[in-house]
């Protein structure tokens, strides 16, 4: 009974925003902020996957569900982008029900994943009504990521004394883990490159969104330098390109003297690196090419007549064996993978959802959070061309890449009156 009354008391601490949304009390903001911090930074701070899942469920998903059931914000759900997301998730569940057992998962599993996605985007969306709070949480997460990036660089190339040799790092020492006590272990260089790339965009937004003191700008630039070095040494070209494209879009969305200075200095730095490391660049792009993804995509195209309409079912692996041996279990493109699994209706609904997110972000681009959300979404969309294999999973690193910006854009509201928090975001 005591717990029940505590939940009711917490749920009652909701007010109305000036823009018509349901504002959260400081208590609710603190609860959801803690949960979001654990979901994002817990991937670095928590070594055990089971412990990570438990804490995300307890501190983020459960409070979000309580808030959704006790104080729903109807305006959050009455918008085209949420209808598109609901349609996509409903189709996934129906597709799974039709096939009863596919990809090793039963329909109840996909229902649970759909519920997790809706609850997570609800939590991020409700925090978006409080831009200062959300930006503070994201900045703290970026600071943690920058700290671990520098720690990894120091540990790998200082303490372990791995030589800074292209061939050595490329073949045996691509970054993806701190390699100490299981912390900051993202299991694969591609995943690590995309995850840390998100924080490059977050810190860059803090640099260009508003004037900063010299020491603040210096700390942010130090953090960006560590993150960029880490992403570079993952040798994940998908992460390189997606971060570069998203960073360029961010600077164009935040026009100003700082953005122009970063564009010019970045262009000169990139040109200088191309000249200095041309043999390595040539090897990456002209010799390694698409890392044999072209063979996978040609196989996908050859099988298209078999699955183009209804797909093979959610969670189904795309099995491909190379002529010389070795195999992969996904199409190395989220768009192709979703089409393979969900068919034409599924990929159409997903593209419709992306289009709604882009349209809403562009329409509300006067808001700093909308421009940040757009840049992060562009990073995810470019990355999904070649690297991401699934976004319909339990909370993990890909949620930071895709569902975080999706939640931010879903939570945005057209301003009715001037909100000081949004001006200072």
CA distance 87 to 243: 30
Provide the token pair at 371.
């421009």
pLDDT(16) > 50: no
CA distance 291 to 294: 8
pLDDT(19) > 70: no
Provide the token pair at 318.
């795309």
Percent of the chain scored above 70 by pLDDT? 91
Of 101, 132, 120, which is closest to residue 23 (Cα–Cα)? 132
**Residues 13/369, Cβ–Cβ less than 8 Å:** no
Residue 262's pLDDT is 93
Residue 277's pLDDT is 87
Of 21, 74, 142, which is closest to residue 414 (Cα–Cα)? 21
Residue 102's pLDDT is 63
Q: What is the pLDDT of residues 75-122, one digit of tens each?
A: 899 999 999 999 999 999 999 888 766 667 888 999 999 999 999 999
Q: What is the pLDDT of residues 361-393, one digit of tens each?
A: 999 999 999 999 999 999 999 999 998 999 999
pLDDT band at 188 (very low <50, low <70, confident <90, very high): very high
Burial class from Cβ neighbours inside 10 Å (0-12, 13-18, 19+) for residue 36 reads: buried
Radius of gyration of the chain (CA): 22
pLDDT band at 18 (very low <50, low <70, confident <90, very high): very low
Q: Which residue has the higher pLDDT, 43 or 278?
A: 43
Residue 20's pLDDT is 46
Of 197, 206, 150, 212, which is closest to residue 178 (Cα–Cα)? 150
What residues does each domain of the chain span?
A: 2-423
How many residues does this entry show for the chain?
Answer: 425
Q: Which residue has the higher pLDDT, 195 or 326?
A: 195
**Residues 363/336, Cβ–Cβ less than 8 Å:** no
Of 4-8, 268-272, 330-334, 407-411, minimum mean pLDDT range: 4-8
Task: Give the HSE-up count for residue 380: Cα atoms under 13 Å, Cβ half-sphere.
Answer: 22
pLDDT(6) > 90: no
Burial pattern 340-370, b for ≥16 Cβ within 10 A else e, equals bbbbebbbebbebbbebbbebbeebeebbbb
- What mean pLDDT is predicted for residues 395-411? 97
Kindly tell me the sign of the dihedral angle through the C-alpha atoms of 95, 100, 106, 107: positive
pLDDT band at 4 (very low <50, low <70, confident <90, very high): very low
Write down the mean pLDDT value for the chain.
90
């Amino acid at each position: 009974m005591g717990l029940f009354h505590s939940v009711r008391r917490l749920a009652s601490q909701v007010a109305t925003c000036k823009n018509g949304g349901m504002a959260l009390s400081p208590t609710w903001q603190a609860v959801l902020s803690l949960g979001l911090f654990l979901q994002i930074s817990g991937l670095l701070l928590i070594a055990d996957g089971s412990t990570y899942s438990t804490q995300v469920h307890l501190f983020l998903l459960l409070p979000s569900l309580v808030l959704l059931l006790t104080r729903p914000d109807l305006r959050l759900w009455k918008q085209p982008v949420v209808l598109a997301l609901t349609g996509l998730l409903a189709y996934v569940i129906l597709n799974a029900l039709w096939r009863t057992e596919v990809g090793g998962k039963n329909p109840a599993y996909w229902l649970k994943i759909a519920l997790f996605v809706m609850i997570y985007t609800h939590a991020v969306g409700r925090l978006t009504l409080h831009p200062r709070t959300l930006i503070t949480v994201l900045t703290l997460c970026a600071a943690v990521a920058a700290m671990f990036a520098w720690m990894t660089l120091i540990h790998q190339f200082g303490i372990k004394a791995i030589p800074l040799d292209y061939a050595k790092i490329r073949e045996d020492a691509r970054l993806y883990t701190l390699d100490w006590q299981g912390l900051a272990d993202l299991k694969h260089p591609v995943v690590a490159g995309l995850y840390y790339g998100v924080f490059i965009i977050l810190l860059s937004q803090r640099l260009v969104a508003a004037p900063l003191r010299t020491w603040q700008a210096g700390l942010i630039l130090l953090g960006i330098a560590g993150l960029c070095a880490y992403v570079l040494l993952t040798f994940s070209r998908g992460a390189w390109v997606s971060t570069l494209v998203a960073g360029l879009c961010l600077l164009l969305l935040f026009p100003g003297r700082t953005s122009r200075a970063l564009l010019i200095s970045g262009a000169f730095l990139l040109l200088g690196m191309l000249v200095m490391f041309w043999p390595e660049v040539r090897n990456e792009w002209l010799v390694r090419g698409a890392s044999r993804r072209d063979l996978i995509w040609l196989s996908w195209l050859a099988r298209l007549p078999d699955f183009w309409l209804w797909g093979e079912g959610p969670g189904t692996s795309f099995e491909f064996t190379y002529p010389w041996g070795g195999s992969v279990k996904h199409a190395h493109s989220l768009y192709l993978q979703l089409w393979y699994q969900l068919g034409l209706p599924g990929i159409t609904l997903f593209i419709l959802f992306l289009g709604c997110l882009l349209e809403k972000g562009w329409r509300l681009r006067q808001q700093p959070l909308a421009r940040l959300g757009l840049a992060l979404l562009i990073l995810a969309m470019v990355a999904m061309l070649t690297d991401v294999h699934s976004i319909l999973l339990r909370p993990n690193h890909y949620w930071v890449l895709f569902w975080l910006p999706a939640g931010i854009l879903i939570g945005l509201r057209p301003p009715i009156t001037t909100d000081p928090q949004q001006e200072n975001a």
